[in-house]
């Protein structure tokens, strides 16, 4: 047993104050301790925390810290994978809670990480939040090529295409997808939202997306606004016909 495991074993999560527990969860995420993340998530929920707060304050913030040390060469891929799996274990508990708002169904979103890219935590989080806001979300996974995106849009009669990219080397693929939609005369059928850490507003404009979404909350707001506009123009068309 490593020294780190020993220290972790000595900590009784349920005896920590909320603030200390959140800090401990950041450490446990960093150390890739999925069981502890599950336990901490359940404790915070049991203390009345809103699922969204557990997600953002304990899990997303923990992952942000992991990202900094990954960038600085302190953590490497195997450790980051363990951290990611721990994060997913916590997210699995939160997912049904975030989805069960009873919101009416508002539209269908196809969600995927672009070709060449296997980062899926941000995408999954966006999917969870969209489901919670009443969207049907069809998650087509990672490393998604243009034909897979378009087949899913058509098969599910979708309203919105959501693309995620975490690498500067893969974000350009979003333009391939949008250009192909244009070429096939399909672009106006769908709203296209894009997100991921290396993106920004300018990039989204340049590739012809409808919106860049900084985070999952903005993705939900943007998707809801898009559906309102779409339903408004459909109603206006019907009134005019
Ligand atoms: Co990777 N990785 N990674 N990685 N990884 C980054 C992205 C990196 C910034 C790390 C770093 O150097 N600091 C760096 C990219 C550098 C660059 O491109 N400039 C990097 C690298 C280099 C790599 C590899 C190339 C490393 C290697 O192999 N040498 C490799 C690439 C693999 C590939 O994809 N082909 C790789 C691999 C991995 C792991 C497999 C180990 C793991 C992924 C596990 C998984 O996802 N299942 C991993 C992880 C975990 C990260 C970091 C540490 C964390 C990403 C994350 O999950 N963040 C990341 C560092 C960082 O981002 N700071 C890093 C938490 C998540 C909640 O945030 O995904 O940003 P995020 O999502 C946010 C917003 O961006 C937004 O909403 C979310 C939250 O609200 N958002 C959307 C995201 N998608 C959206 C879509 C929307 C709307 C909003 O609409 C559709």
Better pLDDT: 241 or 1: 241
CA–centroid distance, 183 to ligand 1, in Å, is: 30
Cβ of 232 less than 6 Å from ligand 1: no
- How high is the mean pLDDT of the chain? 92
- Whether pLDDT at 158 is above 80: yes
Nearest residue by C-alpha to atom 10 in ligand 1: 71
CA–centroid distance, 166 to ligand 1, in Å, is: 5
Query: DSSP letter string over the chain?
Result: --HHHHHHHH--GGGS-HHHHHHHHHHHHHTT-HHHHHHHHHHHHHTT--HHHIIIIIIIHHHHHHHHHHHTTSS-HHHHHHHHHHHHHHHHHHHHHHHTT-PPP-EEEEEEEBTT----HHHHHHHHHHHHTTEEEEE--SSB-HHHHHHHHHHTT-SEEEEE---TTTTTHHHHHHHHHHHTT-GGGSEEEEE-TT--HHHHHHHT-SEE-SSHHHHHHHHHHHHHHHHHHHHHHHHH-
pLDDT at position 3: 44
CA–centroid distance, 102 to ligand 1, in Å, is: 31
- Looking at the chain, the whole-number percentage of residues with pLDDT higher than 70 is 92
User: pLDDT tens across 163-189, in order?
Assistant: 999 999 999 999 999 999 999 999 999
Model confidence at 241, in pLDDT bands (50, 70, 90)? low
Model confidence at 1, in pLDDT bands (50, 70, 90)? very low
Atom of ligand 1 nearest to the CA of 81: 41
- Whether pLDDT at 122 is above 50: yes
Nearest residue by C-alpha to atom 63 in ligand 1: 67
Q: Which of 85, 86, 121, 166 to mutate to test the pocket of ligand 1 (most atoms within 8 A of CB)?
A: 166
User: pLDDT tens across 63-92, in order?
Assistant: 999 989 999 999 999 999 999 999 999 999
Model confidence at 2, in pLDDT bands (50, 70, 90)? very low
Domains along the chain with CATH numbers = 8-101 (1.10.1240.10), 108-240 (3.40.50.280)
Contact 172, 136 (CB under 8 A): no
CA–centroid distance, 119 to ligand 1, in Å, is: 5
Least Cα distance to 162 among 149, 175, 172 occurs for: 149
**Segment of 95-99, 112-116, 225-229 carrying the highest mean pLDDT:** 112-116
CA–centroid distance, 211 to ligand 1, in Å, is: 20
Judged by average pLDDT, the poorest of 150-159, 184-193, 215-224 is 215-224
pLDDT at position 8: 52
């Amino acid at each position: 047993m490593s020294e780190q495991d020993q220290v972790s074993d000595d900590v009784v999560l349920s005896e920590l104050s909320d603030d200390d527990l959140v800090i401990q969860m950041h450490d446990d995420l960093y150390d890739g301790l999925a069981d502890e993340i599950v336990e901490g998530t359940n404790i915070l929920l049991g203390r009345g925390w809103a699922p969204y707060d557990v997600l953002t304050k304990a899990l997303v913030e923990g992952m942000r810290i992991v990202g900094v040390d990954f960038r600085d060469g302190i953590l490497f891929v195997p450790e980051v994978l363990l951290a990611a799996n721990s994060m997913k274990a916590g997210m699995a508990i939160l997912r049904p809670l975030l989805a069960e708002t009873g919101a009416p169904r508002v539209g269908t979103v196809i969600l995927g990480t672009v070709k060449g890219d296997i980062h899926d935590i941000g995408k999954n989080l966006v999917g969870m939040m969209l489901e919670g806001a009443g969207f049907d979300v069809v998650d087509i996974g990672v490393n998604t090529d243009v034909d897979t995106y378009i087949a899913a849009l058509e098969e599910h009669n979708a309203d919105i295409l959501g693309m995620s990219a975490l690498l500067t080397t893969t974000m350009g693929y979003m333009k391939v997808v949008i250009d192909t939609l244009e070429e096939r005369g399909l672009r106006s059928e769908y709203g296209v939202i894009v997100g991921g850490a290396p993106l920004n507003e300018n990039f989204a404009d340049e590739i012809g997306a409808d919106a860049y979404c900084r985070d999952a909350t903005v993705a939900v707001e943007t998707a809801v606004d898009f559906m309102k506009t779409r339903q408004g123009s459909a109603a206006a068309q019907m009134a005019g016909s």
